[in-house]
Structure 1
Amino acid sequence: MDGGPRSVVVVGAGIVGLSTAWFLQDRGVDVTVVDRTGVAAGASWGNAGWVSPALTAPLNSPSVLREGLRAIADPAAALHIPLRADPTLARFLMRFAAHCRPGAWRRAVRANAVLNDEALETFDVLVANGVDAPVTDTSIAVAFRDADRAASFRSGLDRLPAADKPTVEVLAGAALRAYVPLASARITSVVNVSGQRFVDPGRFTRALARAVVERGAVIRTAEVRRVLPVAGGVSVEVLAGEPLHADAAVAATGAWLPALMGRRVRVGLHAGRGYSFTVPVERPLPGPIYLPEARVACTPYRTGLRVAGTMEFRRPEEQLFRRRIEAIVASASPLLDGVRWHERRDEWVGSRPVTDDGMPLIGQVDRGVYIAGGQGMWGLAHGPASGRLLAEQIVTGKQPEAARAFDPLRRR
């Protein structure tokens, strides 16, 4: 490895941390993974499971800013900002709002394109090399009440570069009802976006963890207090037990990155919590549905439907707020028939790491110390590609050109 690190401790056993571990192993590095609660215990379990490059866009768009201003007065809105004294959240939201300008959003779109371009291929690499979990090819039905909004959405897809442009079909009438049997009469148009995928996120992440262990890694459960450069490498200090020593360390702790990294993270990062639950359905669904007017994603999950939604800016350790689940049901139930909402189970909340400028944090922050996080709602889709980029930087000592926009020490 030409003098590169031979041992790395990865802090975080979600999709991002485990992907980084796998690609480090692929380059001959010995890896230890440490997580405070275990594999897929955070946002890698309860998300919608989409690997959908065509629908993956940064959060910091001008429309989200407008929606956020309206949400302050509407506790049931899909974007929820609690009204309370929280200086940390206030600073983050001010910086986030500053990056909701069209130019800043377009910069984030261009930067994140590399992760979208590599999303499907990196999943292929993992599955072809021992990650034993299904990845399902699919179309995603984007369902609208308003035909004009459907046409506008399709126009946006048509403006994508030719290499990224998905195959799109607009459905209405009998064709819509046949393809989306759960759509209610209020849905008038569906934009069917082909060439996407979905997974059971918890199952996939656990399979990735097994593959990492089979390649020789150790996964430990411990709470990491600090990651420090020391003579000859790094020291990973845990709450109970002896420190772990290695040539380098990666922090991939999602929304808890600021707590672990402190001021070494210059870009604002906050928990954007998402909620999900599972419901039985009366008619099988061939693929995922997205309800953009409600900001709700629905995915076939085992024998039912996983329903996911909400962007809630609260601290990651806070409890589940049931009224957020109720708000998702209230917004989605008029649009879907044949869903037994009252029988929902597996109610869940998870914290997604949202950056204030719409771009993840992938790179070095100190001697021998690296971070991978900030993918926001797209941690599952972008996790393997992020892990491969960071593994390349750690082993070669050179920041890949594609990762420069994601430098955690970037100037803004």
Structure 2
Amino acid sequence: MNKKVIVIGGGIIGLCTAYYLHKAGHQVTIIDKSTMDFGASYVNAGYLSPSHIIPIAAPGVMKKGLKWMFDSSSPLFIKPRFNLNFLRWSLAFNNSCSQKNVYRGVPAIKDIAVLGRDLYSEIKNEEKFKFQLEQKGLLMICQTDKMLEEETGVAEIAKKEGLPIQELTPNDLKELEPNVSINAKGAILYKCDAHTTPGMFMEEMKTYLQNAGVVFRKNETVKDIKFKNDTIISLKTTNTTYSADEFVLAAGSWSHLLSKKIGLKLLLEAGKGYRINSERKLGIKYPAILAEAKVAITPMHGFTRFAGTMEIAGINHNVNPIRIEAIANATKRYYPEITLTPEEKKTAASGLRPVSPDGLPYIGKSQKCNNLTIATGHAMMGWSMGTATGKLVSEIISDKKTSLSLDAYHPDRKF
């Protein structure tokens, strides 16, 4: 049965959800509080990364977070706040920083990331999109023996999961990147990964959806939800009131605020990331993560992007110059010949990534509401998992067997 569906949120998750719902024959409206042309879906590193199999909540991460709490230039910065939601999330995050969470998370992350990567290619071919999509792989570049040993251990886990990897010496790196100097002890090449230019995909997808009849309601904030007998009756925005058969909550870092309106305490924190673009020809051919610094470098269509950091400091788009300098300084340490200019740093932007306590997304229906499907909490993997999440949500609403088991992503799971 074709349904009337409202998708709350116009980022990568919301657009991909609308795409697959439309393909399934449903009538779709997207509501977003912004102009839908900025934020995490536009400033991310563009990676399609099955290699990122270790969830953010892993052994030792909370300890590092506490150590880095007083260093605003650190890769992970958690700003302490006397806020009940933050305290609940912090406790759940601490509980999730375990080997048990890693064992549970690895296959769940790999499966949805592999599906997501393949669906980008499928969409591009089917819709004749022109967005950049290259599967060169992803380099994890290490400057210390300790980090190289750690990344080799992760690579062994990836190999057991069937992901192709290659260990590289400094000479191997030079062969791959002959046009740029790299200061490193070695690297891991994940051949399974691909990369894109996010803005290109977002613009093509928005154009496609609008031409296909999907309704866009921009600059509308959801103010209230009328809820009765575990069912959403209507949704009120700053402009009007909407009714529908089904609703999708894909509002990213704002999702937990809306979930409260149906009595669901969705544990979620905004993880801010930053990006700097350079339109100069820098000679970088391969996407890379600077392992110790947690900085990502991506050769995109017409420019190179430098992105990174995870800042848990509430919902805001403020650009912290200390974080920008940290990205620039890390780039210089690994690529000695590359200096990001003051002009490039001035154009830096930020985006908010919704982070669940265990690093896995929320995908599915809560027992609290029978006509709301939740799709958020993807942390740093929103771009990788966007297409797959959209397909899974469409399958849920269409009452079809889902492409993947949703058990690991259940929104009612305990931490």
Instruction: State TM-score, norm by structure 1.
Output: 0.91
Q: Which amino acid aligns with 2:397?
A: I
| Structural mapping, 1:236-255, within 5 Å | 236-240=235-239, 242-255=240-253
In structure 2, the residue matched to 1:117 is: 114
Q: Which amino acid aligns with 2:14?
A: G
Question: Residues of 2 paired with 1:376 and 1:233: CA distance?
Answer: 27
SS at structure 1 position matched to 2:274: strand
Question: Residues of 2 paired with 1:9 and 1:213: CA distance?
Answer: 15
In structure 2, the residue matched to 1:137 is: 135
1:406 aligned to 2:409? Answer: yes
Deviation of 1:102 (Å): 1.0
In structure 2, the residue matched to 1:164 is: 162
| Structural mapping, 1:227-238, within 5 Å | 227-229=225-227, 234-238=233-237
Selected match of 1:220 from 201, 217, 222: 217
Q: Which amino acid aligns with 1:359?
A: L
In structure 1, the residue matched to 2:344 is: 344
Deviation of 1:249 (Å): 0.9
Deviation of 1:401 (Å): 6.0
Selected match of 2:19 from 19, 22, 31: 22
1:60 aligned to 2:57? Answer: yes
In structure 1, the residue matched to 2:297 is: 298
Q: Say whether the 8 Å CA contact 2:53–2:110 is kept in structure 1.
A: no
Q: Say whether the 8 Å CA contact 1:182–1:338 is kept in structure 2.
A: no
Q: Say whether the 8 Å CA contact 1:298–1:306 is kept in structure 2.
A: yes
Selected match of 1:209 from 206, 209, 222: 206
Q: Which amino acid aligns with 2:375?
A: A
| Structural mapping, 1:69-108, within 5 Å | 69-108=66-105
Q: Deviations over 1:8-27 (max 9, x none)?
A: 01111111011111111111
Deviation of 1:293 (Å): 0.3
Deviation of 1:311 (Å): 0.5
Deviation of 1:74 (Å): 2.3
| Structural mapping, 1:258-337, within 5 Å | 258-262=256-260, 264-281=263-280, 283-337=282-336
The alpha-carbon distance between structure 1 residues 185 and 359, as it changes in their structure 2 partners (threshold 3 A), is closer
Deviation of 1:280 (Å): 4.6
Question: Residues of 2 paired with 1:314 and 1:330: CA distance?
Answer: 22
Deviation of 1:331 (Å): 2.8
Q: Which amino acid aligns with 2:156?
A: D
Q: Say whether the 8 Å CA contact 1:33–1:217 is kept in structure 2.
A: yes
| Structural mapping, 1:371-410, within 5 Å | 371-396=374-399, 402-410=405-413
Aligned pair count reads: 407
Moved more, 7-16 or 163-172: 163-172
Q: Deviations over 1:87-135 (max 9, x none)?
A: 4323311210111011122212232232123122211222122162231
Deviation of 1:84 (Å): 4.5
Q: Say whether the 8 Å CA contact 2:164–2:191 is kept in structure 1.
A: yes
Question: Residues of 2 paired with 1:163 and 1:129: CA distance?
Answer: 29
Question: Residues of 2 paired with 1:182 and 1:55: CA distance?
Answer: 27
Q: Say whether the 8 Å CA contact 1:144–1:150 is kept in structure 2.
A: yes
Q: What runs of 5+ residues in structure 1 fail to find an aligned partner?
A: none
The alpha-carbon distance between structure 1 residues 88 and 220, as it changes in their structure 2 partners (threshold 3 A), is same
Moved more, 392-401 or 218-227: 392-401
Q: Say whether the 8 Å CA contact 1:13–1:40 is kept in structure 2.
A: no
In structure 2, the residue matched to 1:154 is: 152
1:369 aligned to 2:369? Answer: no
Q: Which amino acid aligns with 2:359?
A: G
Q: Which amino acid aligns with 2:27?
A: D
The alpha-carbon distance between structure 1 residues 105 and 358, as it changes in their structure 2 partners (threshold 3 A), is same
Question: Residues of 1 paired with 2:58 and 2:279: CA distance?
Answer: 34
Question: Residues of 2 paired with 1:164 and 1:238: CA distance?
Answer: 46
Q: Deviations over 1:327-354 (max 9, x none)?
A: 2223332111332312415311111000
The alpha-carbon distance between structure 1 residues 233 and 60, as it changes in their structure 2 partners (threshold 3 A), is closer
In structure 1, the residue matched to 2:174 is: 177
Q: Say whether the 8 Å CA contact 1:234–1:369 is kept in structure 2.
A: no
SS at structure 2 position matched to 1:76: coil
Deviation of 1:190 (Å): 2.3
The alpha-carbon distance between structure 1 residues 140 and 160, as it changes in their structure 2 partners (threshold 3 A), is closer
Question: Residues of 2 paired with 1:400 and 1:136: CA distance?
Answer: 24
Q: Deviations over 1:236-259 (max 9, x none)?
A: 21112x212211111101000011
Q: Which amino acid aligns with 1:376?
A: A
Q: Deviations over 1:155-198 (max 9, x none)?
A: 4323335563214241323x422423576563121222213211
Moved more, 21-30 or 74-83: 74-83
Q: Say whether the 8 Å CA contact 2:6–2:30 is kept in structure 1.
A: yes
Identity in percent: 26
1:355 aligned to 2:356? Answer: yes
SS at structure 2 position matched to 1:284: coil
Q: Say whether the 8 Å CA contact 1:184–1:337 is kept in structure 2.
A: yes
Question: Residues of 2 paired with 1:140 and 1:146: CA distance?
Answer: 19
Question: Residues of 2 paired with 1:338 and 1:282: CA distance?
Answer: 12
SS at structure 1 position matched to 2:323: helix
Moved more, 122-131 or 25-34: 122-131
SS at structure 1 position matched to 2:350: strand
Question: Residues of 1 paired with 2:276 and 2:42: CA distance?
Answer: 11
SS at structure 1 position matched to 2:136: strand
Q: What runs of 5+ residues in structure 2 fail to find an aligned partner?
A: none
Question: Residues of 1 paired with 2:100 and 2:127: CA distance?
Answer: 41
Moved more, 246-255 or 203-212: 203-212
